[in-house]
Amino acid sequence: MGPIDWNFVFMQILAFVLCITVHEFAHAITAYRLGDPTPKRQGRVTLNPLDHLDPLGTLMLILMAVTGARGIGWGKAVQVNPANFDHPRRDLMLVAAAGPVSNLLFALLIAGAMRFLSLPMTPSLADFLVLMVYMNIGLMFFNLIPIAPLDGSKILAGLLPADTAYRYELAMFRFGPILLLALVFIVPGVLSVLVGMPTFMVVSRLLGTF
């Protein structure tokens, strides 16, 4: 392994913290607006990063950034109580979808500012903003994979007929985490097709020739 680029390591960690904060806040505020006070009581309806970071998930990200190893970083999951929703299946799906949608909107905001506003910026700031766009879009596609505990599994469960959704969620409860670990560590080529390629295509369109 060559010398560590500490500037890039710092940018990766900061970008992850910001993207995860927006992602988890979106889950929390959506659940709260749909009638569940649980996220509010637990202090999750906030943009304070400290309230959304999972210690182990953040440590994993730091290790990946420093060593270049393959792995997963994650934030603290927002807890919800479906009994507080008027339409539990639909509202759970909306809460799950709020996370990826927030990352898409965040990326659009940054890319739009970079392309259409004449903002003075240093090369390091430009690199960081490009990284932010990549990370937001990458997190969106990754979380849309329909494997538990990712948001995509909850979105798909909300779209399936009730009986099929029950069987699907039961299978995901049993095998989802194993499948996800296998996807990341054993067959990363599939992850590249599901996340890497579409991320590159979308970011290329968003940033143009910036």
Which residues have a catalytic role annotated?
Answer: 24
pLDDT of residue 118: 77
In this structure, is residue 95 part of a structural domain?
A: yes
Task: Give the mean pLDDT of 38-44.
Answer: 98
Query: Does 140 reside within a domain?
Result: yes
Inside any domain, residue 193: yes
Does any domain span residue 13?
Answer: yes
The answer to whether residue 31 sits within a structural domain is yes
In the chain, how many domains are there?
Answer: 1
Which domain does 71 fall in, by range? 6-207
Q: Report yes or no on 73 lying in a domain.
A: yes
Mean pLDDT, the chain, as a whole number?
A: 94
Residue 167 counted as domain residue: yes
* Assigned domain for 85 exists: yes
pLDDT one-digit tens code per residue, 80-120: 999 999 999 999 999 999 999 999 999 999 999 998 887 78
Are 115 and 208 in contact by the 8 Å Cβ rule? The answer is yes
